[in-house]
Amino acid sequence: MEKPGKTTIVFVGGGHAHLYSLKNADQLVRVGANIILIGPERFHYYSGMGPGMLSRIYEPKQVRFDVQAMVESRGGRFITGTVASINPTNKVLVLDSGEKVGYDFVSFNVGSYIPMDLVPGAAGEAHPVKPIENLERVRLDIIGGIKNNVPKILVIGAGPAGVELAGNIWRLVTEHNGKAEIILASSRDDVLPNLSYKVRSLAHESLVSREIRIVPNFRAASMNKGIVLSQAGDAIAYDIAVLTIGIMPKQIFNTSGLETARDGSLMVNNYLQSTSHPEIFGSGDCITVKGKRLDRVGVYAVRQASIIFDNIMASLKKEPLKEFSPQQQYLLILNLGDGNGIFTRHPFVVKAKWAFTLKDYIDRRFMSMFQVSGEAEESQEVSS
């Protein structure tokens, strides 16, 4: 229980941008704060290694953090649940269970989701790529499907997530000595439409060389009984489908009287504070930094992590806050699933095995920094 008379700091979500604060929560406790973490479950999965988890380059325990153990071992409290609404006037969070949690300061790192109603019928037909642990169910479906059949496996959406998933589905099928028809449907005329021509061509060539079929200009309109129809009336049959399109920030801010962007994300300033309520902080996919247009990629969440911690600490001590200054160019490495990666940082682009080796090194190093609660030794698997 929280100690009366102390400042209560609530972290909503155990994502990338909160890991630094959770790991250093004991420092906040020492300066007189009650720490609460609210999350849907004890583990947080690192999205950058999700496709590799699907193909078993990595075991699940290698790509997740025990955020409950992390905060509890440092003097904080973990509450299982999700925030349904915010009352910023009374500084109260209302959980999906109806429980109310008060705060003096609160920080949100709740990520994004796939709105399944974007494609009518998808909720009963497809696996959304988020949360990342959904990929364990995709894996089981694929392994079951290839035992005695040649299933049609469809990935809808050909951005980075879709390309990595298609490549790692190929790896999963191949390593289980199975056969499958793997289809990647793109709403544009090629894969990776927001990246450079060279990245697109390298990814396209890699997938096609492994007989992964790319269907261009296919905007999914409906799904029903193993058939997806496009807005133009074209059809693709599937046995297993994964949806990666339409990623949206969690919609908990725009009904709470907070300033938000048009997509419902929390509007924050350069200090990652709510522009309307300075005791509220935010980071990662669920925010928009006012006056800046940032891609929703993990590199920004990771770079925001120390800023969130420093600014919450500064708020406690009534000291000046630090600004978040995003870099203009960032490194992106795609895991193609065949041992190769595509390395891109403008203007340099290359496909090579060393590129995946570098990604693997960066990812494992990041995990080692925050797997501080025995994750590497635990054997508990994701519940079905």
Give the pLDDT confidence of 226-278 residue by residue, as tens digits.
999 999 999 999 999 999 998 898 889 988 999 999 999 999 999 999 999 99
Q: Phi-psi category of 273—alpha, beta or left, where left has phi over 0 and alpha has psi -120 to 50?
A: beta
Single residue among 213, 246, 279 that ends a domain in this structure: 246
Is the pTM of the predicted complex or chain greater than 0.85?
yes
Contact status, residue 93 vs residue 258, Cβ threshold 8 Å: no
Helix or strand run (H / E) with residue 351: strand 348-352
Give the model's pLDDT for residue 1. 54
Look up the domain containing 20 and give its range. 7-113+248-317
**How many CA atoms are closer than 13 Å to the CA of 98, on its beta-carbon side?**
0
**Does 138 lie in the same domain as 106?**
no
Which letter, b or e, does each residue of 225-246 get, where b requires 16 or more Cβ atoms within 10 Å of its Cβ? eeebbbeeeeebebbbbbbbbb
Position 377, amino acid: E
| Assigned domain for 348 exists | no
| Assigned domain for 1 exists | no
The label of the residue with tokens 């949100």 reads: 108
Contact status, residue 207 vs residue 340, Cβ threshold 8 Å: no
Contact status, residue 47 vs residue 298, Cβ threshold 8 Å: yes
Nearest Cα neighbor of 277 from 19, 86, 125, 132 is 86
Give the model's pLDDT for residue 27. 97
Check residue 273 and report its DSSP letter. Answer: B
Single residue among 317, 342, 367 that ends a domain in this structure: 317
Give the model's pLDDT for residue 326. 87
Our count of domains for the chain comes to 2
Contact status, residue 254 vs residue 246, Cβ threshold 8 Å: no
**Does 108 lie in the same domain as 179?**
no
| Assigned domain for 48 exists | yes
**Does 203 lie in the same domain as 109?**
no
Q: Is residue 131 reached through a cis peptide bond, with omega within 30 degrees of 0 on the bond before it?
A: yes
- Local structure of 240: helix, strand or coil: strand
Give the model's pLDDT for residue 384. 32
Q: Residues 280-313: pLDDT tens digits?
A: 999 999 999 999 888 878 888 899 999 999 999 9
**Does 91 lie in the same domain as 140?**
no
**Does 176 lie in the same domain as 213?**
yes
| Sheet bearing 240-243, strands edge to edge | 127-128, 240-243, 152-156, 181-185, 213-215
**Does 160 lie in the same domain as 140?**
yes
| Assigned domain for 362 exists | no
| Assigned domain for 333 exists | no
Contact status, residue 117 vs residue 132, Cβ threshold 8 Å: no
- Local structure of 210: helix, strand or coil: coil
Give the model's pLDDT for residue 83. 97
DSSP secondary structure, 274-302, as one string:
BSS-TTEEE-GGGEEETT------HHHHH
Nearest Cα neighbor of 363 from 127, 45, 115 is 45
> Distances from the Cα of 160 to the Cαs of 26, 50, 239, 245, in angstroms?
37, 12, 23, 11
**Does 160 lie in the same domain as 56?**
no
Nearest Cα neighbor of 150 from 173, 130, 166 is 173
**Does 94 lie in the same domain as 22?**
yes
| Assigned domain for 256 exists | yes
**Does 102 lie in the same domain as 36?**
yes
C-alpha angle 379-380-384 in degrees, rounded to nearest 5: 140
| Assigned domain for 304 exists | yes
**Does 220 lie in the same domain as 73?**
no
| Assigned domain for 355 exists | no
Single residue among 266, 298, 317 that ends a domain in this structure: 317
Which residues of the chain register pLDDT less than 70?
1-5, 376-384
CATH number of the domain residue 22 falls in: 3.50.50.60
Give the model's pLDDT for residue 34. 97
Q: Phi-psi category of 308—alpha, beta or left, where left has phi over 0 and alpha has psi -120 to 50?
A: alpha
Rounded CA separation 223/124 (Å): 9
**Does 264 lie in the same domain as 202?**
no
**Does 256 lie in the same domain as 228?**
no
Check residue 260 and report its DSSP letter. Answer: B
